[in-house]
Structure 1
Amino acid sequence: MRQAPFIAVEGPIGAGKTTLSSMLAETLHLPIIKEIVEENPFLDKFYQNMDDWSFQLEMFFLCNRYKQLEDTITQYIEKGKPVISDYHIYKNLIFSERTLKGTKRDKYRQIYHVLTDDLPKPDIILYIRADLDTLLARIAKRGRSFEEGMDKAYLQQLIEDYDDAMSSLAAREPSTIIMTIDGNTVDFVENRMHYEEIAAKVKELME
């Protein structure tokens, strides 16, 4: 492990990525990079009509995440400072492979690789894995209006896509440590012991 690791927290919608990364940032005294979600002007339209608005939605996310990570390189990674992010930019491919089709998907893949192939990869990925019922309960609890009508089949497919993506990343980036957290049984928000076990493990991996 290098002296200043780059940590990413990942998982499907509702897994608790931002919550966990924020808690770890405070405990481990790390700067945090949070993805822009609610500011995306295409979210409402996307959930109403995925086919018509998926390309605009995915491009907005890609460009914003690219800019954030570009800034992260300058502010932290190049200076040898550890940092935690509540996403891995690879998530753009996870979502776009499901939402885009045909030539739009091909164009998006090309743009994605041009922008991201030379970006630094996380040293540690915390993968929060949870089943559909757990995710639906957490989504309902946080009460985002644009998520109220989310298709359950879409979310279930996303769970499976994330499992496949983590397997792919493990094969493609063998130096990256992927730590899987069982979101169905581990409650890092309500159970302090559960959280402290995660934090202790992450601290150990950073050393």
Structure 2
Amino acid sequence: MAEVPFIAIEGPIGIGKTSLAKKLSVHFDFHLLKEIVEENPFLGKFYDDIDEWSFQTEMFFLCNRFKQLEDIEQKYLLENKAVVADYHISKNMIFAKRTLQADKFEKYEQIYHILTKDMPVPNMMIYLHASLDTILKRIRLRGREIEQNIKASYLAQLAQDYEDYMNEFEKLHPEIPVIRINGDEMDFVKHQDNLDYIINQVDLHLNNHKTVAKN
């Protein structure tokens, strides 16, 4: 792990990434980095017609996340200030592979690699996952109007894409600890003991890193 804690939380739509990031930010006094979602002017159109609006939607997210990470690196990480984020920029490729047609994906991938080449990489990942029923329930509960037209089949595919991605991530980055949280079994918003468990897991990895760094 890098010297300054940089924690990213990932998982499918509606799984609770932002809620957990907020709680960890408060507990550890880390800077909170939230992704820009509802500000995306193409998102509502995207959920109505994925093929028509996917490239515009993904490009907006990529450019905004690039700018956010650039700012975070300059203002916090290089100043030895810890950060917890409710996303990892590599999630862009999960969505792009699922939604973009081959010719547009090729262009997108080239731009993605150019922009992210020197971006800071999280040194701890928290992966939230759950069944489709749980994901649908949480999306309904938070009540974002633009998300009400999301097809269950799209969410099911996305959940599997995330699972494949995280399995690959752990193989490619064995040095980065991944904390897996099953959303079907744990609700850290409603149950403090579930939140305490996650906090303890994060603490454990942070302390392990300090020990390694000293040695």
Given that residues 123 and 177 in structure 1 are in contact (C-alpha distance below 8 angstroms), is that contact kept between their aligned partners in structure 2? yes
The more displaced of 77-86 and 19-28 is: 77-86
Identify the residue that residue 49 of structure 1 maps to in structure 2: 49
Distance (Å, rounded) in 1 between the aligned partners of 2:204 and 2:2:
13
CA RMSD of aligned residues (A): 0.9
Distance (Å, rounded) in 1 between the aligned partners of 2:88 and 2:117:
13
Identify the residue that residue 193 of structure 2 maps to in structure 1: 193
Deviations 1:86-121 (A, max 9, x none): 000010000000000121000000000000122121
Q: Return 5+ residue gaps in structure 1 as ranges.
A: none
The more displaced of 10-19 and 115-124 is: 115-124
Deviations 1:45-85 (A, max 9, x none): 10111101000000000000000000111011112221100
How far has the Cα of 1:3 moved from its partner? Answer: 3.3
Normalized against structure 1, the TM-score is what? 0.98
Distance (Å, rounded) in 1 between the aligned partners of 2:185 and 2:204:
22
Map residues 57-136 of structure 1 onto 2, 5 A cutoff. 57-136=57-136
How many residues align structurally?
Answer: 207
Which structure 1 residue ranges, 4+ long, deviate > 4 Å from structure 2? none
Deviations 1:104-153 (A, max 9, x none): 00000000000012212111000001110000000000011111111111
Distance (Å, rounded) in 2 between the aligned partners of 1:2 and 1:59:
29
Distance (Å, rounded) in 2 between the aligned partners of 1:103 and 1:113:
16
Deviations 1:133-187 (A, max 9, x none): 0000000000111111111110000000000110111122221111100111011
Normalized against structure 2, the TM-score is what? 0.94
Distance (Å, rounded) in 2 between the aligned partners of 1:42 and 1:29:
34
SS at match of 2:63: helix
Alignment-mate amino acid for residue 30 of structure 1:
F
Given that residues 88 and 122 in structure 2 are in contact (C-alpha distance below 8 angstroms), is that contact kept between their aligned partners in structure 1? yes
Alignment-mate amino acid for residue 111 of structure 1:
I
Distance (Å, rounded) in 1 between the aligned partners of 2:5 and 2:175:
12
Distance (Å, rounded) in 1 between the aligned partners of 2:8 and 2:59:
21
Alignment-mate amino acid for residue 176 of structure 1:
I
How far has the Cα of 1:32 moved from its partner? Answer: 0.5
